[in-house]
Structure 1
Amino acid sequence: MTSWLKDAFDKPKPVIAMLHLSPLPGDTLYDSAAGMQKVVERARRELHALQDGGVDGILISNEFSLPYLTKTEPITAVSMARVIGELVDEITIPYGVNVLWDGRASIDLAMATGAQYVREIFTGVYASDFGLWNTNVGEVARHRHRIGADHVKLLFNIVPESAKYLAERDLESLTRSTVFATLPDALCVSGLTAGAPTDTQTLSIAKTAAGDVPVFVNTGVRAHNVADQLAVADGAVVGTYFKKDGIFENEVDGTRVRELVAAADDFRKSL
């Protein structure tokens, strides 16, 4: 199943950069005085900083829609579609979308905007910072098929941030059953929160149990550890490290992007 990565990206073990959109209409922190144009302008600056820095893909998310909903309001995906529509002609690399924390809305947005992949929580029941959190992967998978979005790849976050899986199951058995029963296109392994390190041993357990399904390291990738992480994982999703001073709220810093991509490229030359 790793063949889709080869088809989608120019390099092995791709580095996918998060493009975190500013708070959107309906969000508690939305700047209604500045309006959507400010959201678009920041997204444009960060898109070009990431692309110019050499990342292999982009994942566009409403990361600043805090506190998150597990079933989003329509205005969120609609606003994200507005931003992507204004930027799509400037996107030169594969891109995906993530409407936090709503798998169905993520697939709808991908279908509407031409995105090639989505990342979301598609399986499990959790006690989370956002309350009791349930999913229905069968319903979402059927929805994807019904709207003609089978080409949209689903990246399952197997270790959700800010949440604990309610069933007492170890990561190995959880990964094996997820791969067998729910047909993910890839798995993402995370730390506790955005930017938190992902334990390499945890990553190795998931990679071994996933078989042919690609596994991405989803948080905590930095220039100094990207080689170690990619030695295990099939790719990396990077957000916080690319920000100025490595601070989640800041804008993307092109120097940090180039630094991490260079470290990743040095490792990938040996493959």
Structure 2
Amino acid sequence: MSDWLGSVFPVIKPVIAMLHLSALPGDPGFDTAAGIRAVVDRAKSELADLQEGGVDGIMISNEFSLPYLTKTEPITAISMARIIGELLGDIRIPYGVNVLWDGRASIDLAVATGAQYVREIFTGVYASDFGLWNTNIGEVARHRARVGGGDVKLFFNIVPESAKYLADRDLKSITETTVFATLPDAICVSGLTAGAPTDVQALATVKSAAGSVPVFVNTGVRANNVGDQLAIADGAIIGTYFKKDGVFENRVEQARVHELMGAARDARASF
């Protein structure tokens, strides 16, 4: 197992919580009347609930920038940097960022805000709900080096949501060549959409093929399945379950965070 995970997180099999930012300036759903102050205030409130609930890390993303772009406009990362700047004094745990769906912008934001990791679709070509989706990991990796982001860890989502890999390849071979040729720091395995269950067999396939690269379950983790998922995966990234009633659009509810993290701690004690 890669030793970087233990150097960032003080526990085995860490649970990283998504901190979903409300729609931002430039997004169709941005509340121009409330302004960016309302986005900051909600983020501060949800950050407090996630940390008090005991999560091991957070991932700050523009989850409500729907519909997503594969090359974001500058205003998105600029707005996120401003918001994260206001959150930094409150963050007590490891944190990462994700500018959906733009790997280069995610790295820029991480370097600018001191984030330790990013998650994105860095490899592959897909037919997606937002058009033909191509990537260029060689260019992104070189960009990371140029901007001084060599220490920023890259989480590769190799089963992207709302998209289908165009090449006729199985998940095992995709994992093996991703590890060999593109040098991920971690691999994420997802369901069809945010909050959708991740197939346990798919997770096991990726884990067996990933060698020493950590594998994270990326969607659909709940209090009643976190033990089974962490029995296979090296960590989990969780967003929807922490929301009121487990609904994607709702705010984080601290009681649900406590519930899941209690189940995760019980599971980790047996590993």
> TM-score under structure 1 normalisation?
0.99
Q: Secondary structure at the match of 2:156?
A: strand
Does residue 93 of structure 1 match 2:93? yes
Q: Secondary structure at the match of 1:115?
A: coil
Partner of 2:183: 183
Partner of 2:115: 115
Distance in structure 1 (CA, Å) of the matches to 2:270 and 2:125 = 40
Partner of 1:137: 137
Distance in structure 2 (CA, Å) of the matches to 1:2 and 1:182 = 16
Runs of 4 or more above 4 Å deviation? none
- Aligned AA (1:67): P
Distance in structure 1 (CA, Å) of the matches to 2:162 and 2:143 = 27
- Aligned AA (1:95): Y
Give 1:203 shift. 0.1
Distance in structure 2 (CA, Å) of the matches to 1:258 and 1:18 = 15
Partner of 1:6: 6
Give 1:2 shift. 2.2
Q: Secondary structure at the match of 2:188?
A: strand
Deviations 1:84-142 (A, max 9, x none): 00010100000000000000000000000000000000000000001000000000000
Partner of 1:209: 209
- Aligned AA (2:208): T
Give 1:225 shift. 0.1
Distance in structure 2 (CA, Å) of the matches to 1:7 and 1:224 = 29
Partner of 2:227: 227
Partner of 1:44: 44
Q: Secondary structure at the match of 2:88?
A: helix
Give 1:270 shift. 1.6
Partner of 2:258: 258
- Aligned AA (1:174): I
Number of corresponding residues? 271
Q: Secondary structure at the match of 1:216?
A: strand
Distance in structure 2 (CA, Å) of the matches to 1:207 and 1:75 = 37
Distance in structure 1 (CA, Å) of the matches to 2:250 and 2:148 = 37
Distance in structure 1 (CA, Å) of the matches to 2:265 and 2:184 = 27
Give 1:204 shift. 0.1
Partner of 2:192: 192
Partner of 2:160: 160
Partner of 1:102: 102
Distance in structure 1 (CA, Å) of the matches to 2:24 and 2:68 = 12
Deviations 1:2-36 (A, max 9, x none): 21110000110000000000000000000011000
Q: Which runs of 5+ in 2 are unaligned?
A: none
Report % sequence identity: 75
Partner of 1:77: 77
Distance in structure 2 (CA, Å) of the matches to 1:253 and 1:4 = 31
Please report the RMSD computed on the Cα atoms of aligned residues, expressed in angstroms. 0.5
Distance in structure 2 (CA, Å) of the matches to 1:137 and 1:222 = 32
Distance in structure 1 (CA, Å) of the matches to 2:3 and 2:180 = 18
Distance in structure 2 (CA, Å) of the matches to 1:66 and 1:184 = 27
Distance in structure 2 (CA, Å) of the matches to 1:51 and 1:239 = 13
Q: Secondary structure at the match of 1:90?
A: coil
> TM-score under structure 2 normalisation?
0.99
Greater mean alpha carbon deviation, residues 100-109 or residues 2-11: 2-11
Distance in structure 2 (CA, Å) of the matches to 1:205 and 1:84 = 36
Distance in structure 2 (CA, Å) of the matches to 1:170 and 1:263 = 33
Distance in structure 2 (CA, Å) of the matches to 1:253 and 1:177 = 39
Partner of 2:238: 238
